[in-house]
Amino acid sequence: MAASGEIIYERPNLLDSTHDGVELINSNRFAFLMMLGMDVMLFVGLGGGYMVLRGGSLSWPPPGAPSLRPAVMVWSCVFIVLASVVFAVGLKNHKKGNARQARLALFAGSLLILGFLITNAFEWSYLITNGMDIMTVFGGIYYTLMGTFLIHVVIGSIFLFWIISRTMRTGNSGKSVNSVTHVAYFFYVLTLLWLSIYGLVYS
Amino acid sequence: MATLVVPAVVKKPAKGSTANGHAEHGHHELSFVQKYIFSQDHKIIGIQFLFSSTFFLLVGGTLAMIVRLQLGWPGHSFSFLNILPSTMVAGGIILPEFYNSAFTMHATFMIFFAVMPFLMGTFANYLIPLKIGAGDMAFPKINMLSFWFALTAGVVMLSSFFVQGGAAGGGWTAYPPLSDVAELSGVMKGQNLWLISLLISGVSSLMGAVNYITTIVNMRCPGMSFFRLPLTIWAIFVTAILLLLAIPVLTAALVLLLFDRTIHTSFFIPASLMVAGQPITGRTGGGQVLLWQHLFWFFGHPEVYIMILPAMGISSDIISNFARKPVFGYKAMVFSIIGIAVLGFFVWGHHMFQSGMNPLLGTTFMISTMLIAVPSAIKTFNWLGTLWGGNFKFQTPFLFAVGFVSMFVIGGLSGIFMASTPVDIFIHDTYFIVGHIHYVLFGGSVMSIFAGIYFWYPKMFGRMLNETLGKIHFWIVLITFNGVFFPMHILGIGGMMRRIYDYTQYAHLSHFQGLNEFMSINALILGFSTFILLFNMIWSYFKGKPAGMNPWESNTLEWTVPSPPGHGNFAETPHVFRGPYEYSAPGRVSDFWPQNEPPEGWLERAEAMKASPSHA
Amino acid sequence: MYKQLEEFVFHKRLKQPFKALAAILTAAFFTCLVPLLAIAAPPITPRYKHFWLPDAASTYAPKIDAMFNMILWITMVVFFLVEVTMLVFLIKYRYKPDRRATYTHGNNRLEIVWTAIPAVILVYLAIFSNTLWSEIRDPNKFPKGASSIEIRPRQFEWDITYPGPDGKFGTKDDIATINQLYLVKDKPVQIKLEGQDVIHSFFVPEFRIKQDAVPGMPTAVWIQPTMGGNFEIACAELCGLGHYRMKGFVSVVSQDSLDNWLKIQSAP
Ligand code: HEA
Ligand code: HEA
Ligand code: CUA
Ligand SMILES: [Cu+2]
């Protein structure tokens, strides 16, 4: 961090009394991680809501509501886990500077994410045609929880396309290492969240 | 003992000042709008928050006055109130529906638009970079957005007074089904606007929090280790973490309630709810009423600590400064801040002892609630320890800071009554609670905010506030504050419920009218006393004594730069050599020791080291 | 006194802890005394003219009051300790140009003392509170053989149902009234509460009872009145426009008069 010609410091101990004024962590990265933390808390709130509503109901799903299809939605888990794995590979390549492989991985990952979205779309259209009503508690919390999650995935995908198109144009710039890392982290967290949500809603 | 590491003498502008590229542009002048309105300078944003919070304090205060008018003289006709529309006041008499809106919006404005932005907007913005030796925030643009989101939220909240059905009237806690079904409360769009406004203000708080945490972690100047941070910064740091964890849960709750109100989901509507004797139409039911309370208080309790921790930090700084001695037990102070923050997430159920929640849960929450008083005790005794052996001049900031300690203790101790589950059976939802609220929030947070304003105004505007007016203000506040809020404990013990428009309806309460009248008179004086502060702030801006760089002979970094500090704050990155509270250190002539004053012989050694080839 | 305290802290004289201990014991003694006083104290003012706790008219009311008084004493002691110390310091250490403030960063022994003592007091309070709490609220400890009443408040009245001769709710012989509850002196009664529209809260100050009536979630409480006469039911949870006037009445009567009244009510 210190400019050339000046004394270089060792990375200080967090609570040491001789802090040398260097950044402990890249600011953008740090802010991004905090944003992920906020997202997790948002889902803690919604998931807690889900648990209370489900726990308080006599029958779940209530009579008349279509039952969810865990077998179908397992695919969504598979897709998103695979996507995470692929992103991890991509990130590794990206950091090494293998632009082509990295881009390939990002692209493959986005196809998997698409698969995830399509699985969900299937489930939603099935639920909607079978009369799952957002006005019921069962439908309402499902659509709210899942919808919030899907919005996150969609935002992640937009982010992803933006990065892919940028790396296509610029190759591996130092800046995009950060954004590739971020998008990968984002999907890691989404994957973990999704597995918890799946466990919560589909079991 | 910490070894003295000889750091480089870095001759470059403080970090952050180049972050938004102003430095590179050389003498490029910013337009007025860039400089004062859409400013990205943390000092300007801090001052913008100062103005907006003061404005909303007046709004909240005016609503409090309306509440007090009704309570002091129930059913009396006040002709001057006739300027309000007939949906609020009829024939000079405050209507019950307006009374409900009045205290709801009073609390909302005070909490979300006055106290929080004062602490986590004004002081956090203004002080973080200055106190840690940075040129600006880590993300100046997000910082600017944070202010404009907060202001938008405030305007949306204000606008809800003017829609049909009036402003939200379900209490600041907005318990459904009352806040959920418009037919039950008579409030229509007002409640939606309330929800939307809080969503926006939540986003603003989150942006602020991310910024503060990043800035504090990353942009401390050389030598400013965590345990050399002033307690204000520690408190803001921990509070920002609380915001990050608590606000998203509120967001979830607000969204669910907003869906209930707009697209008629039934998250908070149980089966077969009755509306005016008929089963509810347009809702399927099946939801859980208590869900809201759990979500709200999971946020709500950390929220009250969000409002007290920075206030504690500010008072600690000020008390140490005026006692001319180090904070007693600095590390104990830091750990108790952290302790309060952590425990704060495990006590939310103490607001729900009588809600029908499982009594066993009540026990768990009681134990955690009792425990959370321990770190507060540590802080209180350390404040006393700081006062012990001091040498203080009674200047206004000090008066308010000491007032903070003594009033907060009363509020904290009344919390113990409520923490005890059986006692809470009786005092829950009575004026005892209202007394507690105001001792911690006015006697605690607002007193500390006043202390902070008197203390940092000279830094912000370059002029001292008038001491005489300050002292008058303090004594009026101290006396009338106790005059309004201490009797609330008596009312509560007598069984007077909160949130009631006309207690004279009840035989067991009607004899309290005289006491209430006394309280209302005090409240009016308390309200008007705020104008002394406002007058002082305006008058001193033009006529005040020039402050100079360090009027309070303080140690921390903000006092090593001119008042007000220039853009970029520090001409060169400061270097910190010691903790923030080295007052009256033995062996020195002066009784303060700025954090950045190099120790003897340091400069020579630094030069020598720079010259030596082994370090190149 | 603070002179000694200073010595105790900073010069580590060992005799002083005994003085501190003595002070604590004295405080504890008074603490134990207070509940007795509170129970023994006769009502001085007529009902409804109190500027303190209302009459205690149920079995657990005096116990809650005792708990309240105990906390009051503890907090009073703490309050005076803190505020008096502060005042003394403020006066003693006010500015003198020829004096320098004491340079100290704290004292670990003292930190431990003032962490441990409040912690012990608070744990003690929690244990005491919980005994009483479970006595009042634990469903397993509800008094046996209590009669039942159902109260289903709505905006802005108290709908009260007695089970009638068959002792069951939801049957034809139920007796429903509005805003007027009759209880029998010295007989326990279990009240089932459920809100119809919004949350209300059943509050009778003299009985020291308060329980939210939540729509969709029935809750049960019990009372055993110990004092005859008329009391008010207040609604303690904000429930809309008429919250302030949602008042009901309780009359504590003899078993005979209640039976009589029920008979009249159930006569077609
Ligand atoms: C800044 C805000 C703030 C702060 C700091 C606190 C602090 C505390 N609060 Fe408070 N509280 C509110 C704001 C705050 N509260 C608000 C706004 C409400 C009402 C919400 C609503 O319903 O509208 C509320 C309501 C509330 C309730 C719910 C009451 C009810 O509705 O029935 C309870 C119950 O336990 C409670 C307890 C406590 C406790 C135990 C503390 C503790 O942290 C206090 C600890 C401090 C001390 C104890 C004093 C110092 C210590 C000593 C001097 C040491 C020695 C002490 C002993 C040995 C006892 N509070
Ligand atoms: C930060 C929080 C905060 C602050 C600062 C205050 C400040 C005040 N509050 Fe507030 N209050 C709450 C938070 C706060 N309150 C909360 C959370 C509730 C619970 C709400 C609920 O039940 O949902 C509540 C409820 C509440 C009630 C109970 C209402 C009820 O239950 O029916 C009352 C009644 O007296 C009251 C009074 C006051 C007064 C007189 C002040 C004074 O200190 C205000 C002093 C005013 C100023 C400092 C500003 C300057 C004022 C003016 C410029 C006005 C001048 C105009 C005239 C004199 C006409 N408040
Ligand atoms: Cu019913 Cu308040
Ligand atoms: Cu709380």
- Asked which of A92-106, B262-276, B515-529, C1-15 is least confident by mean pLDDT, the reply is C1-15
**Beta bridge pairs of residue A134:** none
Whether C121 lines ligand 3, by a CB cut-off of 6 Å, is no
Candidates C110, C138, C238; nearest CB to B499: C238
Pairing of strands C147-154, C189-193: parallel
Instruction: Write out the residues surrounding ion ligand 4, Cβ under 5 A.
Output: B 301
For residue A49, report the distance from its CA to the centre of ligand 4, in Å: 20
Q: How confident is the model at residue B319, as a pLDDT?
A: 95
Q: How confident is the model at residue B395, as a pLDDT?
A: 93
Confidence of residue A172 (pLDDT cuts 50, 70, 90): low
Give me the percent of chain B exceeding a pLDDT of 90: 73
Q: How confident is the model at residue C2, as a pLDDT?
A: 54
Whether B303 lines ligand 1, by a CB cut-off of 6 Å, is no
Q: List all residues of chain A from 109 to 148 with a beta carbon under 8 Å from chain B.
A: 133-138, 140-141, 144, 148
From B308, B315, B350, give the residue whose CB has the most ligand 1 atoms within 8 Å, as the site to mutate. B350
Whether B310 lines ligand 1, by a CB cut-off of 6 Å, is no
CA separation, residue A145 to residues A50, B253, B286, B296, B548 (Å) = 8, 12, 17, 18, 56
Q: How confident is the model at residue B153, as a pLDDT?
A: 96
Residues of chain B in contact with residue A37, where contact means CB-CB under 8 angstroms, are 244-245
Q: Does C144 touch chain B if contact means CB atoms closer than 8 Å?
A: no
A1: pLDDT strictly greater than 90 = no
Whether B424 lines ligand 1, by a CB cut-off of 6 Å, is yes
Closest atom of ligand 2 to B62 CA is 54
Pure H helices in B445-508: 447-461, 467-493
More confident residue, B287 or A12: B287
Torsion angles phi and psi, residue B361, rounded to 5: -60, -40
Residues B46-73, mean pLDDT to the nearest whole number: 95
Confidence of residue A164 (pLDDT cuts 50, 70, 90): confident
Does B249 contact A19 at a Cβ distance shorter than 8 Å?
A: no
Confidence of residue A59 (pLDDT cuts 50, 70, 90): confident
Note the pLDDT tens digit of each residue in B410-460: 999 999 999 999 999 999 999 999 999 999 999 999 999 999 999 999 999
Q: How confident is the model at residue A177, as a pLDDT?
A: 64
**Beta bridge pairs of residue B272:** none
Residues B327-350, mean pLDDT to the nearest whole number: 95
Best CA proximity match to B59, nearest among B101, B95, B90: B101
Whether B242 lines ligand 1, by a CB cut-off of 6 Å, is no
B3: pLDDT strictly greater than 70 = no
Q: How confident is the model at residue B268, as a pLDDT?
A: 94
The position carrying tokens 């995935």 is A153
B336: pLDDT strictly greater than 80 = yes
Q: How confident is the model at residue A168, as a pLDDT?
A: 73
Q: Using DSSP, state whether B342 is helix, strand or coil.
A: helix
Supply the pTM of this predicted model.
0.91
More confident residue, C47 or B153: B153
Does C242 contact B366 at a Cβ distance shorter than 8 Å?
A: no
A134, B283 contact by CB (below 8 A): no
Best CA proximity match to C53, nearest among B413, B496, B511: B496
Q: Does B335 touch chain A if contact means CB atoms closer than 8 Å?
A: no
Q: What angle do CA B176, B182, B186 make, to 5 degrees?
A: 110
Q: How many CB atoms lie within 10 A of CB B225?
A: 20
Q: Retrieve residue A40's tokens.
A: 């997790």
Ligand closest to CA C245: 3
More confident residue, B209 or B30: B209
Q: How confident is the model at residue C129, as a pLDDT?
A: 93
Q: Does C262 touch chain B if contact means CB atoms closer than 8 Å?
A: no
B29: pLDDT strictly greater than 90 = no
Q: How confident is the model at residue B115, as a pLDDT?
A: 96
For residue B433, report the distance from its CA to the centre of ligand 1, in Å: 9
B212, B237 contact by CB (below 8 A): yes
The position carrying tokens 């005890």 is B420
**Beta bridge pairs of residue C211:** C202
- The average confidence (pLDDT) of chain B is 90
Q: Retrieve residue A28's tokens.
A: 């953008």
Residue identifier of the C-alpha nearest atom 40 of ligand 1: B415
Torsion angles phi and psi, residue C225, rounded to 5: -70, 145
Residues of chain C with confidence (pLDDT) below 50: 8-45
String of b and e for B55-86 (b: at least 16 CB within 10 Å)? bbbbbbbebbbbbbbbbbebeeebeebeebee
String of b and e for B115-134 (b: at least 16 CB within 10 Å)? bbbbbbbbbbbbbbbbbbbb
Cα–Cα distance between B47 and B33 in angstroms, integer? 15
Q: How confident is the model at residue B243, as a pLDDT?
A: 96
String of b and e for C214-252 (b: at least 16 CB within 10 Å)? bbbbebbbbbbbbbeeebbbbbbbbbbbebbebbbebbb
Q: How confident is the model at residue A85, as a pLDDT?
A: 93
Q: Residue C34 is which amino acid?
A: V
Q: How far is A101 from chain B (nearest CA, A)?
A: 33
B21: pLDDT strictly greater than 70 = no
Note the pLDDT tens digit of each residue in B218-276: 999 888 889 999 999 999 999 999 999 999 999 999 999 999 999 999 999 998 898 98
Q: Which residue of A has its CA nearest to B2?
A: A17
Whether C63 lines ligand 3, by a CB cut-off of 6 Å, is no
Report the complex ipTM: 0.89
String of b and e for B340-357 (b: at least 16 CB within 10 Å)? bbebbbbbbbbbbbbbbb
